[in-house]
Amino acid sequence: MKHNHISTGADLAMATVAPTSNNPAVASNHTENSEVKTWRGCLYLRISKEDGDKEESESITNQRALLLGHAEKLPGVTIVATKVDDGWSGANFQRPAFIEMMEEIRAGKIDCVLVKDLTRFGRNFGESGKYIEHVFPFLGVRFISVNDGIDSANKKGRSDDIVVPFLNLISDAYCRDISIKIRSQLETKRRKGDFVGAFAVYGYKRGDDSEVGYNRNRLLVDDPAADVVKMIFQWKLDGLSADAVANKLNTLGIPSPMAYKKLQGLNFSTSFAISGSANAKWSAMAVFRILKDETYTGTLVQGKVATPNHKVKKKFQKPTADWARVDGMHEPIINIGDFNLVQRLLERDTRISPKDGESVYPFSGMARCGMCGENMVRKTSHSNGKTYVYLVCCRKCKGSRIKEDLLAECVKLALQSHIDNIMNLDRVLRFIEELPLKQDEVQKLDGQIAAKRAEMERYEALVMSLYENMESGIINQAEYRQMKTRYNALHADAEQAINSLNREIADIINIGGEKNRWIEQFKEYQNFGELSRRMVVSLVDAVTVHPGNKLDLLFRYRYDYERCISFVRAVGQLHDISTVGTGAVGAVSTQSTKEAV
Ligand SMILES: [Zn+2]
């Protein structure tokens, strides 16, 4: 069966903004009818043991009570019917009460459907999506799923279009016994590395052998200097240029790294109380050096690796071209997200020199001309005593120009809806987290680990008995050695298997954690007010300005975003979702096109 997509990417991307030149924020549908519309509601209740429903929590009585309680709070909604499919599976829609309800909807007797949650409605992603996204809107039916927080009457933007199919997908996946294998594509490789340089980088000091648990080959945080490093990154993130940062440090009388080292050599341990000497000031270069140093993220970067792994103590030299990067070798001073952000800022800031020398404008280095691909630059013009700020192509292409505040408003709106989408995605991912199939998976792996442990114990016992066997003459010395070697190897194999099983478990548990850290980046701006430079650089890759105030907006982390979408899709893919495949996932666009007339 062929039908239109549930909602298209273009739809979603274009829908949010239709600004005018006077008021770019004007939303398209603000002329809502003010009088309360009346709805003839129908409660749809369903229970089926086949679906694994638990009698107590899903009982018809419970469903009815919940729905009635909810309906009471909805202005204009009167319950005119209740349809009950008791003992009918949600896998399809061939259910007597459901069919009856659809007939009454078509006859105009019902125009509002209430369910406890989507699984009550149906457990088939494709079919449910068809009803909720197509049939109901077409028939003017308001659809309410209480526990999912879905009510088609109060759509906020278009983000609901996404969450419904997603949640549907999940309930579909939930229905079937799917075992998902979640493995990180890139396995985390941990190697041991020692700091072998002569001097610790500013912000750190070398470990002292006299301190318990530390050694000279580990970097320790040097608190006073580390605080300065943190300040430097913070100021950079706030939009200060390297020059401005250096000036600020000098104004505060903070000694430069060079001066600090000297002061320490003279045994001034808390040298920050003392004003820096005049001959060793901070320079933009010194600030740059700090901003670019990966060491602050806890990664040790150097030309040598001291030891290849924790078993081999011997050190060896590596070619300098082959720089070694070892993660997690010392306590980070700057989190990796901020560090990467600063790297991006540094890349972008190169061509910018704002007049006040202090801050960088939100779109500096971010906007490109759609005609020639070159950077857009900021131009101010005055007319009638007013100041207008435009971004224009640095090559002066005619047509590629846009008012800065209009650009900001459009980007802001686009980001708002993108963040909404990501929050929905996040919800879905966390939902998947809690699916029993994941716990099943972990349990299975746990079982395998237990088996391997038992194996290890058996080999240990065998090795123990070998000696006795040799003593009592059952085996000779050569056999003893041979067998011992063999058992030890098997023992080691089992141990290794346990390690990799443990890693697998960690991966499964981590799908919503570590690997989706990018979501946190967006979450941080969930309720943002004004668009800041930091936010733009964090979340947007590029803005392209086409003639006629058309914008292309490329979000950051779009590949991660797509990866998560595919993951969510994969969860439901074991079954036929071909009817919605393009709809649900196609609804997600990481590239947004805006008309900003
Ligand atoms: Zn141009």
More confident residue, 289 or 206: 289
**What percent helix, strand, coil does the chain show, rounded to 5?**
45, 15, 40
Identify the pLDDT of residue 426.
80
Listed in order, strand segments (DSSP E) in 102-194 are 112-115, 142-145, 150-151
In the reported structure, the alpha carbon of residue 378 is separated from the centroid of ligand 1 by a whole-number distance in angstroms of 13
In the reported structure, the alpha carbon of residue 24 is separated from the centroid of ligand 1 by a whole-number distance in angstroms of 24
In the reported structure, the alpha carbon of residue 395 is separated from the centroid of ligand 1 by a whole-number distance in angstroms of 5
Confidence at 84, pLDDT banded by 50, 70, 90 = very high
Do the Cβ atoms of 76 and 37 come closer than 8 Å?
Answer: yes
Instruction: Compute the distance between CA of residue 142 and CA of residue 152 in angstroms, rounded to an integer.
Output: 6
Max mean pLDDT range (259-268, 296-305, 551-560, 575-584): 551-560
In the reported structure, the alpha carbon of residue 392 is separated from the centroid of ligand 1 by a whole-number distance in angstroms of 8
Tokens read off for 507: 């991966």
Q: Which is the CATH superfamily of the domain at 17-156?
A: Resolvase, N-terminal catalytic domain (3.40.50.1390)
More confident residue, 374 or 441: 374
In the reported structure, the alpha carbon of residue 350 is separated from the centroid of ligand 1 by a whole-number distance in angstroms of 19
Do the Cβ atoms of 544 and 530 come closer than 8 Å?
Answer: no
| CA Rg value for the chain | 32
Residue 191 has pLDDT above 90, yes or no: no
Tokens read off for 286: 């010194």
Amino acid at 198: A
Residue 355 has pLDDT above 80, yes or no: no
In the reported structure, the alpha carbon of residue 402 is separated from the centroid of ligand 1 by a whole-number distance in angstroms of 12
In the reported structure, the alpha carbon of residue 549 is separated from the centroid of ligand 1 by a whole-number distance in angstroms of 13
**Selection from 362, 366, 345 nearest residue 543 by Cα:** 366
Mean pLDDT of the region 67-87: 93
In the reported structure, the alpha carbon of residue 340 is separated from the centroid of ligand 1 by a whole-number distance in angstroms of 29
What are residue 369's DSSP bridge partners?
545
More confident residue, 30 or 47: 47
In the reported structure, the alpha carbon of residue 596 is separated from the centroid of ligand 1 by a whole-number distance in angstroms of 18
Q: Crossing angle of helices 223-237/336-349, nearest 10°?
A: 50
In the reported structure, the alpha carbon of residue 371 is separated from the centroid of ligand 1 by a whole-number distance in angstroms of 5
Identify the pLDDT of residue 58.
73
Residue 343 has pLDDT above 70, yes or no: yes
* % of the chain residues with pLDDT over 90: 10
Mean pLDDT of the region 365-394: 86
Do the Cβ atoms of 489 and 541 come closer than 8 Å?
Answer: no
In the reported structure, the alpha carbon of residue 116 is separated from the centroid of ligand 1 by a whole-number distance in angstroms of 55
User: Cα(first)–Cα(last) distance of the chain, in Å?
Assistant: 39
Instruction: Compute the distance between CA of residue 300 and CA of residue 297 in angstroms, rounded to an integer.
Output: 9
In the reported structure, the alpha carbon of residue 236 is separated from the centroid of ligand 1 by a whole-number distance in angstroms of 29
Identify the pLDDT of residue 569.
65
Residue 547 has pLDDT above 60, yes or no: yes
Identify the pLDDT of residue 407.
86
Identify the pLDDT of residue 436.
57
In the reported structure, the alpha carbon of residue 16 is separated from the centroid of ligand 1 by a whole-number distance in angstroms of 27
In the reported structure, the alpha carbon of residue 240 is separated from the centroid of ligand 1 by a whole-number distance in angstroms of 28
Identify the pLDDT of residue 350.
52
Confidence at 519, pLDDT banded by 50, 70, 90 = confident
In the reported structure, the alpha carbon of residue 368 is separated from the centroid of ligand 1 by a whole-number distance in angstroms of 8
Residue 16 has pLDDT above 50, yes or no: no
More confident residue, 282 or 212: 282
In the reported structure, the alpha carbon of residue 536 is separated from the centroid of ligand 1 by a whole-number distance in angstroms of 22
In the reported structure, the alpha carbon of residue 256 is separated from the centroid of ligand 1 by a whole-number distance in angstroms of 42
**Selection from 130, 122, 102 nearest residue 3 by Cα:** 130
Mean pLDDT of the region 43-63: 79
Identify the pLDDT of residue 196.
39
Identify the pLDDT of residue 434.
62
Instruction: Compute the distance between CA of residue 466 and CA of residue 474 in angstroms, rounded to an integer.
Output: 9
In the reported structure, the alpha carbon of residue 411 is separated from the centroid of ligand 1 by a whole-number distance in angstroms of 20
Mean pLDDT of the region 330-356: 73
In the reported structure, the alpha carbon of residue 126 is separated from the centroid of ligand 1 by a whole-number distance in angstroms of 46
Do the Cβ atoms of 101 and 113 come closer than 8 Å?
Answer: yes
Q: For residue 418, how many C-alpha atoms fall within 13 Å in the half-sphere facing its CB?
A: 28
pTM of the model: 0.40
Neighbour-count burial of 101, counting CB atoms closer than 10 A to its CB (0-12 exposed, 13-18 middle, 19+ buried): buried
Residue 577: CB partners within 8 Å, gap ≥ 6? 125, 126, 169, 172, 569, 584
Identify the pLDDT of residue 99.
93
In the reported structure, the alpha carbon of residue 400 is separated from the centroid of ligand 1 by a whole-number distance in angstroms of 6
Residue 407: CB partners within 8 Å, gap ≥ 6? 363, 367, 391, 543, 545, 551, 596
The 10 Å Cβ neighbour count of residue 89 is 18
CA angle centred on 135, ends 130 and 138, rounded to 5°: 140
Tokens read off for 190: 């941990």
In the reported structure, the alpha carbon of residue 547 is separated from the centroid of ligand 1 by a whole-number distance in angstroms of 10
Backbone torsions φ then ψ of 395, nearest 5 degrees = -95, 5
Identify the pLDDT of residue 44.
96
Amino acid at 156: K
Tokens read off for 335: 């989190």
Mean pLDDT of the region 322-347: 76
**For residues 404-413, b (16+ Cβ closer than 10 Å) or e, as one string?**
bebbbbbbbb
Residue 83 has pLDDT above 70, yes or no: yes
Residue 184: CB partners within 8 Å, gap ≥ 6? 507, 510, 515
Mean pLDDT of the region 265-285: 54
Least confident of 199-213, 225-239, 296-310, 557-571: 296-310
Average pLDDT, the chain: 70
What are residue 550's DSSP bridge partners?
546, 595
Confidence at 387, pLDDT banded by 50, 70, 90 = confident
Identify the pLDDT of residue 45.
95
The 10 Å Cβ neighbour count of residue 69 is 10
Confidence at 51, pLDDT banded by 50, 70, 90 = low
In the reported structure, the alpha carbon of residue 398 is separated from the centroid of ligand 1 by a whole-number distance in angstroms of 8
Read off the pLDDT of residues 400-448 as tens digits, 9 standing for 90 and up: 888 888 888 888 888 887 888 788 778 777 766 666 556 666 777 788 8
Read off the pLDDT of residues 117-169 as tens digits, 9 standing for 90 and up: 887 888 766 677 668 776 787 788 999 988 777 788 875 434 444 455 555 54
